[in-house]
Structure 1
Amino acid sequence: MIRGMDLPLVFAGIDQVDWSQLRHAYGSAEDVPALLRDLASPVEETAAEAEQELWGSIVHQGTVYTATAPAVPFLARLVAEGVRRSALVGMLGVIAGSVDEHDLPVPGAARGAVAAQLGLLLPLLADNDREVRRTTAWTVAQCRSAAGPDARAALRARWSAESDPMVRADVLTARALLDPDAAEKLCSAVLAGNEPAPVQVAALLVTADCGLPWGMEATARVTALVPLERHGFGALWEREPLQALTKALHTRGEADTAINVVGSALGRAVALRLQGSEHAQAAITEARWAAESLARRSRTAPARLFPELLPLLDDPATAADVIPLLRTWGQPAPEAVPALLAIAQDNGESADEALAALVYLGAPEATGLLARHLPERPRALAAAYRLATGETGTPSHTHAPGEDRTPLLDAIRVRLAAEPSRERRSVFDGGLAATNEPVYLSGLLAAWGRSARAALPELLAALPRHPLPVSRALATVADPQADAHVNEALRAQAGQGPSATRQSAASALHSLTGDAAPLISVLSELLAERGNGLDHAVTAAASLREAARPLLPLLHTLLAEPAQSRETVPAIRAALGAAALVWELTGDEQAVLPVIQEGLAWASHAWGQATVKRAAEVACLLGPAAEPLVPDLLPLPDDPELSPALVLVLTSVYPESDAPAGLARTALADRVLAAARPGSYARSASAVLTACVALGPTAFTDAQLDLIRGLADGDRRVVGAGLQDRIILDDERFRAEARKVLRTLTAGVPLSDSFRHHSQS
C-alpha cells in the first residue's frame, strides 16, 4: 500500500455495486471487490496475484464483460494514487481497445468507462517514469472517438514537451489516432526534420495507416531504417513495423507501393549481409516476414519479390529464410535449383527443407536425391506425398515426364521393411513428418497404384504395424484378380483388432473386391455403440451407397433419437450424414426433415456455421421435398457466411423460379457475393462460387459479374484463413475456379462494355 493513500476515497461506492449480478470470464463477479482491494495491499505477492486474477477475469484475453466497466473507476483511482501505475494503465488500455464484448448492455460501455476516467489518467503523460508516459499515451489512444478535446490538448502539450524518442513515437501515434486531420502535417514535419529513428518509424506507420500520401521518399526512408524493429517502436501497439506498414498500404489499395517497400527492404537486408553488418540477420528476418505476410494478401507479390529473395540462397546462414517460401509460394524458380541442390546434398534440417523445395518445384534431380536420403528427409518425403496425392500442387508443381520412380520405390520398400525407431524426434527436427512416415510412404505407393505392385510384400508385412495407411495403399496397389493373398490378408485384418483398424481393412477389401459384408459388420457395431467415431462410421456407410441397405434399421434408429442426444457437433453431423443416406436409399422425407431442421437451428450456436452448412447440403439433396424447411432458411442471410447455403437450398427447392421463396435471384446474388470477403476459408470461398452457378447466368448484372471478375483477377487474395502454408495454394485454386464460373455465367451472354474493357486489359 502506498503511504498516504486515501483508501476510503479510492473504494467509495464499491459495495454499492451489485457484483453478484455481474459476470466475468469465470462466472459471477462477486470476487472482484476483494481483488480490487488486494491491488492496494502492502504485500507485493498479494497485489501481484490480484492483478493477474483481474487480467484473467474482467479482461480475459482482451474480452470485456458486464463486470468490466464497473471495475474501471476503481482501477483509475488506484492508478491516480500511484498503485501499479504502468500495469493498471495498460489494463485500462486493453479494456478501452477491446472489440470483443461479452453480453454488454450497451456496445462500447467498457471503452466509455475508461474515457470517463481520462481526467485521472492524463496527468500521467508528464510522469517521471518513461514507461508510465508511454503506456498512458497508448491507453488514451485506445479510447479513440470517446476521448474528448482535453485528451487531444494533453497529447499536443506532451508532444511539445517530450524529449524521449520512444515516448515521442507513442505520443505521435496517439495524436494521429485521435486527431486524423492533424496527422498529415505532423508526419510531414517529422519526416522532413531530424527526429530520432523511433519517431520516424511511427510517422511512417501513421502515414500508411491514415491513408496519407506515400511517395518514393517514404519508401526510401523505410529502406534506410531497416530493420525497423531495432528502433524499439511497436511493442505497445502489438505489431511488427515493416509487416504492419506494408499491410496498411496494401489494405488501402496500394499493392504496388507495398510490394516496392518490401522489395526495397529485402534489397537493403542483402546489402547489410554483404557488408557484414551486425543488423543483417535482423533485417533479413524482418523483411522476409513482411514478404511472406504480403504474399498471403497480394497475388502479384510472390512473382515480384522472388528475385529479391534469391540472393539469400547463396549463403547457408540465410538460405533457411528463403527455402520455406519456395515451397509455399508456388512460383517457378529454375534459377534457385542449383543452390538448392548444393544444400540438399548436405546434412541436417536445411538439407531436408531444400530437398522438399526441389520436390515442389518439380526438379528432375529431386526423386533420386530423395531415394538416396529417404530416412533423413522426412519433410521432403511429406512434400512428395502431398504432391502425389494432390493435396498440394499448382501449375509449377509437376513431375518430369517419364520420371523413373524405381529408385524411390526401392527405397520406400526398404523403409517399410525396417523396424520403426522407438526414438521420438522433436517437432522442430522433422518430428511430425517423421512420426507420419508410414502414412507418407504408404500414401505415395497408393498414389502410384498398380505401378507400385513390387512393394506388396513390404506392405503386407507392415499391415499389422500400420493398418490404417497400409490398408488404403493395398486398395489401389493390389490387383484383386492376381493378388488373392492380399484380399485374404485384408479379410483377416478386418476381423480382428480395434474397430478403426478393422474398418480401414474392410473398406480396402470392399474397394478391391466389392465385398461389403465385412465393412457392413464393422459399421453395424459402430452404429449400435454410438461411440466417438459415430460420424466417421456414417461417412463410411455413405460410401457404400446401395450396398448400405442392411444398415437402414440402425440409421432409422439414429434419426429417431431425441434432439437432446445430438447436442455435440459430432452427434449432429452423424445424424445429418445418416439423413442424407436414408434419403438416398428410401426417399423418405418425413424421416429426414426433422434432423435437417435441427441442423439449421444451429445457426444460433456460437460455432454452429459448419453444422448449418452441412444441414443445407443435405436439404439440397431433397430438392422440392425440402420446401417445409424454407421458413427455417430465410433468416440465414443475416449471417453473410451462410448466404451461399441458403441460395443452394432455395435453388434446389424452386429450380425454375425467378424469385425462389419470393427473393429475386439478382438480390440473392448480392447476398452471396457479400460473403466473398478477403480472409475467407477456402471452403467458404468455394461455396460462394457454387452458389453463383446455382443462381444461373440470368441472375447477374454487369456490376455483379465485375465483382466475380475481381474475385478471380484482383490482387487481394480471397482465401486468407486456414493453414498458413496452404493459403496461397488454396487461393490460386479458388482463382482458377472463379474464372471457370465466370466463363459459365457469361457463356452466350453479350459482353457489356465494362466486361470488354476488363478482358482487353
Structure 2
Amino acid sequence: MPSWFSSRPGTVPCFQNGRPGTRKGTPITTVLHGLDAIGWDALRHAYGAAGDVPALLRAIADGDDPLGAVDELDVKIYHQGGAVFSAAAAALPFLTGLAASAETDAGVRAAILDTVGRLADEARLADARAIAREWPAAWDAALPRLLALLADPDAVVRRAAVSALDGAAADADTVTMALRARRPDEDDPAARLEAVLVVGGLAKAATAAVLPETLAWLRDLCGDPDPDTRLAALLALAEAVPAQRLGDDLDAVVAAARQAEPDVWRDVPHVGDMPDDLVATYGGMPARLVTWIGAHLEDEVPARTRLCLAFGGDRDADRRIGAVRNAADLLSAWRSPAGRLVPLLAERTADGGGPARAYATHVLAAMAGGPDGARDGEVFAARLDDPHRLARHNEQTVADVAAWGLARLGDARCVPYLAERLAAPNLGYGTAVVGGTGGAGYSTWLPAAQQVLEPLRDHAGVLLPVVRERLRNGTASDQRALADLLERWGSASSPAVPELIPLLGTQAHIAAVNALAAIGPAAAEAAPVLEEMWHRPPEGLPEWSRRQSACALPWALWKIAGDAAAARAVADAAFAGAPRDVAWGYVADVGGHADTCTGRLRTLLDHRDDWTRVRAAHALFRVTGDPSGASETLYHEIYPITRGEYLPVRWAAARHLAEIGPAPEPVHWALRDILDSDRRHHVNTGWQAFAEDRELRDLAARLLADTENH
C-alpha cells in the first residue's frame, strides 16, 4: 500500500475546465445501472446508514469534484480501517466499474483503485467478525475486472491496479501469475517495479503449485541488469521468504540503490512521491528511497546500522538525509547502534543539507546527557545560529534544537539565546505539553517551552526577568506555559509571585495555583487570595477548572501556609466531584491529613480503570505509609512492559514504586529484563522515545539498587 506522505501517490488528475476529461468508453450510466435497486439505508458504513453512498458514487461519475467525492466515500466506507462494512461490499462493483471506465479521468480512476486496494487489504488483516459477509462474493466478482486493468492503456491506472491487488492474499496464485504474465508487455517502469513488490508480498500466500516458480522468477530478477529491478526484486524476495533476510544481501541492495533512478520510484505506489513542499523538511526522492529501504530492514539492527553508515557519507546530499533519518528511526527503537551512529550524527550536524543537520542535531539533543548520548555541548553550540527551518508550518529552526540540547546539558551557552526567544513574539517552542506523539518515523517536533527551560533552574536568576514580563503581558497560553515552568523550578521562582497572583481566576488559574504551591512558604503573600477563592470560588472559571480548584486551592494553601484544615479538606473535595484524574495526586501529596479516606482508596485498587487503580494505590501509600496492597497493584503494571506492552500508566506505576522502596524478589526478573533489553522502552515517538526509555531504566535500576542496599 502507498506510504503515508500521500494517499494518492503517482496519481495526477487531468482536468479540463474544472471537470474530468472524458474519453470514449463504457457510458457512466451503464456503470451505475442498478444503483437505486439496492436498499442502501439498510446497509452500514463507518457513520451509520449508507443512504448517502449513491449520491457520492454519482458525484464520482459526473460531479464537479470527483476526487473530493472519492475521498468522502473513502472516509465513509474505509474510514480508518479495522472493518469492512456492508456498504463497501455493495459499492465495490460500482467502484470497479468506474475504475474500468475510460470515460472517467485517469487520476480519478487511480484514486478509486486506491480505495479498493485498501479495502482488500483490510479484508485480509481485520478480524473476520468485522468483515461484512457480503464482501468475499463482491471481491470474487470484482477480481476479473481488476485483473483486466493490468492492461489498461493508461499507465497511471495500471500502476494503481497493480497496487490494488496487493491485499488479494486469498487469490495469491491467480494474481501472481497474472502479474508475471503481464511483465513482458508492460512498458511503464513504475508499474513493472510495483508488480515485483506485490508479487513478493503475495508469495507467502501462494500455494505449492505457484510458489517455487515465483521464487525462481524473483531470484532471476535479483540479477537483472536494471538496478531498479534488482532493488525491487531483492526487497520482494526478502518479503516472500522470511528466512531470507534482506540484510544478508545488503551490499547488493546498497549497490542497486546507488544506481537507482529516483524519478522512476516516485511513481511506484509502494514508495510514493515526495511533494515539493516537503523536500526542505524530509529531503527529495533519494532520501525517501533510502528511508524506505531502511524500513524494510525492520528489526535487522546490524544491517540497518550498516545501511546508515553506507549512505551517511554519500556524495549525494539526499542520500545522506535518508541515512540520518534512518539513524533517527533506528536509535529511537534500539540502543545498541548508538556507538556507531552517534559519531555519524555528530558529523552530519555540519552537513550541507538542512534536513540532515536538523535530524542529526535533534537526535543528539534528545540523547544529550544520557548514557549513550553527548555530554559535551560543543556540537550544539556550533549550531546556535543555524536558521534552517524544521518544517514549513512553523518557524522553529535548527538553532532552537541546538539551544534545547544545551539546556538538557545545563550548559549556560543556551541562556542568552533562550532569553531572547522568551522575549520574541512567540515563545519559540510551543506552550502545550503534548501527552503523546505517534505516527510513522522519527519526528523533529520540539518539546514545549517549559520542558525546554526546566533543566535551567540554576539560571533562573537570568531568565526570570523575561519570564515575569511575559507573565504580565503574554497571551493566556504563554501565561499557562510559564506558570508551569515556575512550578517546575519550585522555590527558585519566588521572585515571580507578584506576577502569579493576578493570574488566579484567569484562564491560567490552575497553572498559577500549582506554581504558587510549588514555591511554598515564599509565596505567603498569595495565601489570603487563595483562601478567599477557596471559600468563594471566582466566577467565570471553566467547569473543569472550577472542579479542580476544589482540591487545588486548599492543597496550595496547605503547601504555602501549613494549614492542616485545608489539607484535610483536600480529601473531602476529591470524593465530592473533583476530577479523579488529578484529585488523587493532591490527596497523595497531603498524605496523612487524608486518613479519613483510607477505606475508600482501598476499594479503588480493584477498579476496572488502570489509571484509577494506579493513582489510588499511590495515594493510599502516601496516606498510610503502608506499601502492602499498593505495591501489589502497582507491580501488576510492570510485568506487561517486559512483553513490549507499553502504556503511559505503567511509567506512572514505576515512578510510584520507586518512591515506595525496595522491590520484592518476585519482580526482580521483570526489572532486569527491562534493563537488559536492547529495545528502547517507550510509548511515544520522537524525542520522547529517548526520555521515556531513560526514565524507565533509571527507575528499574533504582528499584533493584534499593533492594540490594536494603
Counterpart position of 2:349: 313
The structure-2 alpha-carbon separation of the partners of 1:536 and 1:375, relative to structure 1 and needing over 3 Å to count, comes to same
> Residue 147 and residue 435 in structure 1: after superposition, are their counterparts in 2 closer, same or farther (change >3 A)?
farther
Aligned residues of 1:242 and 1:287 also touching (Cα < 8 A):
yes
Helix, strand or coil at the partner of 1:726 = helix
In structure 2, what is the equivalent of residue 324 of structure 1?
362
- Provide the secondary structure at the position in 2 that maps to 1:45: coil
2:46 is matched with which residue? 25
Residue 129 of structure 1 deviates from its aligned partner by 0.5
Change (3 A) 1:136 1:337: same
Residue of structure 2 equivalent to 1:614: 612
Contact in 1 for aligned 2:321/2:353 (Cα 8 Å): no
Aligned counterpart in structure 1 of residue 185 of structure 2, from 161, 164, 174 = 161
Q: Is 1:92 the equivalent of 2:113?
A: no
Conserved? CA contact 1:24–1:58, under 8 Å: yes
Provide the residue aligned with 2:266 in structure 1. Answer: 232
Task: Tell me which residue corresponds to 1:205.
Answer: 235
Superposition pairs for residues 300-699 of structure 1, below 5 Å?
Answer: 300-314=336-350, 318=354, 319-330=357-368, 337-344=377-384, 349-367=397-415, 370=418, 375-376=423-424, 378-379=428-429, 385-386=450-451, 405=459, 408-417=460-469, 420-421=472-473, 437-439=481-483, 441-446=485-490, 449=491, 453=494, 456=497, 467-479=509-521, 484-492=524-532, 494=534, 497-498=538-539, 500=545, 504-517=552-565, 533=579, 536=582, 540=586, 543-545=589-591, 547-548=593-594, 583-584=600-601, 592=603, 600=608, 611-612=609-610, 614-615=612-613, 676-678=642-644, 680-684=646-650, 697=665
RMSD: 4.9
* Aligned match of 2:296: 248
Residues 77-121 of structure 1: CA distance to partner in whole angstroms, max 9, x if unpaired? 443444643233222111101267599565796467425421121
Q: 1:168 deviation in Å? A: 1.0
Write the distance in 2 (CA, Å) between the matches of 1:470 and 1:7. Answer: 64
Q: Counterpart of 1:217 in structure 2: which amino acid?
A: D
Per-residue deviation, 1:338? 3.1
Counting helix residues as a fraction of each chain, which structure ranks higher? 1
- Identity over aligned pairs, percent: 22
Report Cα offsets for 1:29-62 as digits up to 9, x if no partner. 23434544x2685x34285565344222222234
Q: Give the C-alpha shift of residue 730 in structure 1.
A: 0.8
Whether the aligned pair in 2 keeps the contact of 1:292 and 1:325 (CA below 8 Å) is yes
Q: Which has the larger radius of gyration?
A: 1
Q: Secondary structure at the match of 2:333?
A: coil
Deviations 1:124-183 (A, max 9, x none): 111110011111111112212x11433222111112222321111101111112225566
Secondary structure of the residue aligned to 2:309 is helix
Q: 1:715 aligns to what SS in structure 2?
A: coil
Q: TM-score, normalised by structure 2?
A: 0.70
Q: Does the 8 A contact of 1:24 with 1:57 survive in 2?
A: yes
Q: How many angstroms apart in 2 are the aligned matches of 1:478 and 1:105? A: 55
Structure 1 counterpart of 2:80, one-letter code: Q
Shift of 1:713: 2.4
Amino acid at match of 1:32: V
Distance in 2 of aligned mates of 1:8 and 1:369: 66
Equivalent pairs counted in the alignment come to 612
Give the aligned partner of residue 75 of structure 2: 56
* Closer/same/farther in 2, CA of residues 725 and 523 from structure 1, 3 Å limit: same
- Checking the alignment, whether the CA contact within 8 Å between 2:384 and 2:400 is kept in structure 1 is yes
Specify the SS of the correspondent of 2:558.
Answer: helix
Q: What is the distance in 2 between the residues matched to 1:415 and 1:672?
A: 39
2-structure distance, mates of 1:687, 1:116: 53
2:91 is matched with which residue? Answer: 71
Distance 1:364 1:298 in 2: 31
- Contact 1:681 1:722 (C-alpha < 8 Å) held by counterparts: no
Q: Which residue, out of 716, 736, 739, partners 2:679?
A: 716
Tell me, in whole angstroms, the C-alpha distance in 2 between the residues paired with 1:527 and 1:249.
52
Distance 1:153 1:216, change over 3 A: closer
- Alignment counterpart, residue 727 of structure 1, candidates 677, 682, 689: 689
Tell me how far apart the structure 2 counterparts of residues 314 and 536 of structure 1 sit (CA, whole Å). Answer: 45
Does the C-alpha gap of structure 1 residues 620 and 679 become closer, same or farther in structure 2, counting only changes over 3 Å?
closer
What's 1:194 paired with? 225
User: 2:127, 2:144 → 1: CA distance?
Assistant: 27
2-side partners of 1:468 and 1:689: how far apart? Answer: 24
AA at the equivalent of 1:412: L
Unpaired segments ≥5 residues, structure 2: 1-21, 205-210, 274-287, 388-395, 432-446, 622-628
SS at match of 1:716: coil
Q: Which fold has the larger relative contact order, with Cα–Cα distance below 8 Å and residues 6 or more apart in sequence?
A: 2
Change (3 A) 1:57 1:101: farther
Which residue of 325, 339, 363 maps to 1:289? 325
Q: Following the alignment from structure 2 to structure 1, what is the Cα–Cα distance between the partners of residues 570 and 633?
A: 35
TM-score (norm: length of structure 1): 0.66
- Contact 1:137/1:171 (<8 A) preserved: yes
Q: Hey, what's the Cα distance between the residues in 2 that align with 1:385 and 1:4?
A: 62
**Does the aligned pair in 2 maintain the 1:677–1:718 contact within 8 Å?**
no
Distance between the aligned counterparts of 1:107 and 1:375, measured in 2?
A: 58
